[in-house]
Amino acid sequence: MPLARISHAETSFTTPFIHTGKLPQRIPRGSSKLAEIAKNKWYVEFHFHDHKIDVLRRFRLSKNLNRIKDYLQKHDAFSELLATCINDLNEGWNPITEQETATDLPVAINHTLHLREAIEKFLEYHKSKGNRPKTIGSYKSKLMLFTDHLGDVTVENINDSHITDFLNTCEKTRQWTGVTYNFARITLNNFFVYLKRNKYVDANPATGLESRKEIKTELHQVFSDEDFTKIMSWLRQNDPYTLLFVKTIYYTCIRPKELRQTKLKHINMEYDRIVIPATISKNKKAIPVQIDATLKKELLGIGVKDYPSEFYLFGDINNIIGPTMISENKPYNRFQACLKALSLTEKNYTLYSFKHLSNVRKYLAGWTIAEICAANRHSSLVETETYLKDLIKFIPVTKSVPII
């Protein structure tokens, strides 16, 4: 199993996974395969490098979740435990140190920390980590609602029934969707993970709570031919900057966030390559992207060879190439202005729709899934298939039904 590095020196861990035990050899009458698997002892397993003796030590976590005998409930509970484990490891949790501490005298818990002060500490912690302001704002929004619901109680006195009541109340009164409900639950779990790690509470009351089925908003819809024609025509007449931005997404499948950070030094016009650095790339891998002949002509037309290599490809609204990185929401807002002008804002089109359209058209033109996967720099074919979820809308049924 490969090692996944974390930021702390001389420490590493393998990717945690859920171990569900052996497959049943026989299924008793009245039972099922999943029901029998649910009877097994499950745990989240990973190995952590003990640099003192230079060995990988195995850890197995179950958090008393094996009391659950329903397969789906058990799967959800262990999935949440897995996500928490991965999050904690990425944030620097060292299970070896915690294990050693547990053998010493108990660490005193600060029972006097009140909820509002705890929230301030939690948010400051995420600011110091460099988390996005939008993420921190989302955390704050849900946690302040939690404070309004409970009052400024001491954190040690909060239990799982308080959290469940809060989530259910907001779900009813605020008409939360499954996505919002689950985000609030995860936020509270992360909050109490932080408090437990810093010895403000001795247990995490947000572990193992039920989740909601998520009915996801159908964002990033693939353009209809008619709408795509309207959009491209409007951009040609009104917004050359956004026009080239979306064309580049279409031809390269580079993500909008990566594209904003792309500098001219990342572009090799001689070999028709753009290499998004690992520090920018979503998957943290520097994989070359092919420059199509059509896009190459466009890039040469704006003079990519005539500017300093440290300039950004999309660094200036008027000139396109510029010395500073464009703001995060600038391309999004400009594209939304286009949709608003064309009365297309209700169709769930986004900048990613150009990437989806590109992949659908590749598939219809004869590209294999593996080729599309490579073009997108995806880590798996499953990830690529999400971009083809709307493919059925573009394939007419013309064959006759076989005779029976």
Give, for all 404 residues of the chain, the pLDDT tens digit: 333 444 343 447 888 999 898 888 888 888 888 888 989 999 999 888 877 777 788 888 888 788 888 888 888 888 888 888 888 888 778 887 765 544 443 444 455 789 999 999 999 988 887 777 888 999 999 999 999 999 989 998 899 999 999 999 999 999 888 888 989 999 999 999 999 888 888 889 998 888 887 655 566 788 888 999 999 999 999 999 999 999 999 999 999 999 999 999 999 999 999 998 888 887 778 888 999 999 999 999 999 999 999 999 999 999 999 999 998 889 999 999 999 999 999 888 999 999 988 988 888 888 888 888 888 888 777 777 766 666 666 666 667 777 88
Residue 201's pLDDT is 87
Choosing from 79, 102, 125, the residue where a domain stops is 102
402 inside domain: no
pLDDT of residue 71: 87
Residue type, 104: D
CB-based contacts of 133, cutoff 8 Å, min separation 6: none
Distances (CA, A) of 172 to 168, 208, 213, 250: 6, 21, 15, 41
Residue 73 is predicted with a pLDDT of 84
What total of structural domains would you count in the chain?
Answer: 3
Residue type, 18: I
Contact at 8 Å (CB) between 307 and 264? yes
Residues 274 and 333 in one domain: yes
State the pLDDT at residue 404: 81
Q: Are 271 and 297 in the same domain? A: yes
Q: Are residues 10 and 130 in the same domain?
A: no
Res 10: pLDDT: 43
List the domain range (segments joined by +) for residue 132.
115-197
- Confirm whether 96 is domain-assigned: yes
Q: Is the torsion defined by CA of 114, 115, 120, 124 positive or negative?
A: positive
Distances in whole angstroms, Cα of residue 339 to Cα of each of 138, 349, 403: 26, 8, 47
Q: Encoding tokens for residue 143?
A: 């946690």
For residues 74 and 21, what is the distance between their CA atoms, to the nearest angstrom?
A: 13
Q: Are residues 381 and 303 in the same domain?
A: yes
**Does residue 34 fall inside a structural domain?**
yes
Q: What is the pTM of this model?
A: 0.53
Is residue 63 domain-shared with residue 144, that is, in the same domain?
no
Would you call 50 helix, strand, or coil by DSSP? strand
Q: What is the CATH number of the domain that holds 121?
A: 1.10.150.130
**How much is the pLDDT for 401?**
78
Same domain, 90 and 142: no
* Nearest alpha-carbon partner for 339 in 245, 230, 220: 230
Judge whether 293 and 252 are in contact, CB under 8 Å. no
Locus of tokens 């059509």: 294
